[in-house]
Amino acid sequence: MASLRAYLASYMVRRNVRNRLGTMGDVAQIRAVFGGRSFPDPAGAAYEPGTVGGVPGEWVRPRRAAGPECRLLYLHGGGFVACSPTTHRPVTGALAERGFTVFAPDYRLAPEHPFPAAVEDACAAWSAFAAEGPGCIAGDSAGGNLALVAMLAARDRGVSMPMAAALFSPVTDFLAADGSRVTNAGRDAMFDPRALVKLGPMYLSGADAADPRVSPLNADLAGLPPLLFHVGEREILRDDAVRMAEKARAAGVTVSLEVFPVVTHVWQFAHSMLPEARRSLDGAAVFLKAHCLKAHA
């Protein structure tokens, strides 16, 4: 059962985000909406700039580290055109407070740097991150897409794989035109489904939307590490996560999928006030640590 706060948060997001975004035809407007700081930086984390694999970004570390180090590469969302490690401190800082040393790449954004720039940055960051020792990977929305693509590239190139991955409402299918893209068109508190149609050309700049590096749902998923998916039941992206989880499980991948009622897209930002957000982050942390700590056994 969803909390009363989840209903209130959904109303606030619909009023303050979906209505401002409209159909997302203007990059400046998207960046203005997503670039704001709605939640404070978690106080239990320390933030400092860094570079991994030639990709600039931000290290986020727990102020009070305890136990073996759990390393995590986190790829932020933002529709491939907006946001940064700084905007996503509410999530990366919360994960650091749960015991992770996090690096968040500041990958290149479209339309100034269309596909495959973000993919190249995500892969370069993971390759260098993995070279320093075992770790996990995570991401939300567009960042969840990039996390999946980076894992597939690592598998194909013989690069060390993540111990596990957490994907929050990932984009997995740029060609989807049915399922939750239709049934949740009026229920999604954040996005008008026409928005994703307009975001695609900004990111792709003529590239093939069926390319597995764009739509990882089209890839051979065998050999991926354990995957956790958290998504909202009312999201237009719900079936991107559900179908990806089903296909990965059919390919022999260990999968954990949870569909949360009422919550909005990437509700994990609201962990300071939303119990569902704390439960998602706690569950992801337990899942990732269970696999990450095997490297220390």
Q: Which residues are catalytic?
A: 141, 235, 265
DSSP secondary structure of 151-163: HHHHHHHTPPPPS
CA-closest candidate to residue 137, choices 110, 170, 173, 186: 170
Residue 159 Cα distances to 128, 146, 156, 168, angstroms: 10, 16, 8, 24
**Amino acid at the residue 132:** E
Q: Which helix (H) or strand (E) holds 257?
A: strand 255-260
DSSP secondary structure of 180-243: HHHHTTTT-SS--HHHHHHHHHHHHTT--TTSTTT-GGGS--TT---EEEEEETT-TTHHHHHH
Q: Is the peptide bond before 111 cis (omega within 30 degrees of 0)?
A: yes
